[in-house]
A and B are shown apart, each in its own frame.
Chain A
């Protein structure tokens, strides 16, 4: 591919990704619910929205789908983004805890009356487990590592999407559904690609341009 076309393509991909990540955030900033919430509750909510955005970024980085971030570079950033994901999930839960301790205790102990809490808590534990697994990755057999980490990624995206969609909160409905759909699609595609479920391990793509595009 000629350099100019490649650059244009990279620009379009980054612009589209930026829009997909920014639109839900901007829409949430405009939510009327914010005026009746304390700063710590607002911060907790936005930590959740950022976590959802990172769930779109994570599979794209792992799968090498982003321009100039294919292969090891993308995976190195994937590790940092994973750490950031753990951090924002902790901020999300801690902020909600400060806002209303009994509601969070109910959720964490699976006694909450709200059905979305269960899904959120499952996704939270799956995020922690996926991060722990990444820390001890070198002690695991590659196939075991891939299947376990990819399996957890699928659990994380399922739990998070159901959690987000069932909540009536600061996120605007359409932008929320769009972000959830894209994150779920990206996760499923990359999981199928890298999960190690294929009968024969395909060579990992190093650069999108080498895949005949």
Chain B
């Protein structure tokens, strides 16, 4: 349950602590199993698939744009960036509700596994300013994300995928 509420900031803070303790531990055997496991796959977030519409078209931008959804797609284990992966995005914005078809769009990752989507400003709905992202291609296991903006005034939102081969 708690893992769903870890924000990027707390994750960074936590990894900082882990990093420091790893330095302190030096060549301690404790950290060896974690390295052997490699990058863990991203788990779907609760509520991530809400109002999902399968097969959103690949678009240059959703509506008039002005807000940027961005992130990376990597492979679990070695963390290799995955190019050409289709990420679907939807949200409650100034131009439409989550359930409106026009609020949905998809984009592909570039050679570095990075994706961008220009979309209308996300506004708070159902108590939080949040977006939805989906990976549901066949090569990797399906992941639904539901990142929350730290402020409704933000004009960028990030979400990162680490995919497990299907």
Contact = CB atoms under 8 A, between A and B. Distances in A.
Question: Bound pair: A and B?
Answer: yes
B93 interface: yes
Interface string A87-120: 0000000001001101100100001111111000
A33 interface: yes
Nearest to B47: A113
Contacts of B50: 100, 102-103, 106
B146 A113 contact: yes
Q: How large is the interface on B (under 10, 10 to 19, 20 to 34, 35 or more residues)?
A: 20 to 34
B93 to A, nearest CB: 7
Interface residues of A, number: 22
Given A33-B123, A100-B51, A113-B146, A168 B152 contact: yes
Contacts of A106: 46-47, 50
A62 to B, nearest CB: 30
A45 to B, nearest CB: 10
A166 B47 contact: no
A3 interface: no
A136 interface: no
Interface string B23-61: 000000000000000000000011111110000000000
Nearest to A38: B97
B127 A36 contact: no
A52 to B, nearest CB: 14
Given A36-B92, A38-B97, A100-B99, A113 B127 contact: no
Contact of B124 (A38, A103, A168): A168
A102 to B, nearest CB: 4
Contacts of B49: 102
Interface in A14-50: 33, 36-38, 41
A96 B126 contact: yes
A169 interface: yes
Interface of A: 33, 36-38, 41, 96, 99-100, 102-103, 106, 111-117, 166-169
A115 B126 CA distance: 11
B98 interface: yes
Nearest to A117: B127
B90 to A, nearest CB: 12
B4 interface: yes
A101 to B, nearest CB: 9
A35 to B, nearest CB: 8
Given A106-B46, A168-B152, A100 B126 contact: yes
B132 to A, nearest CB: 11
B146 A116 contact: no
Interface string B86-103: 000000111001110000
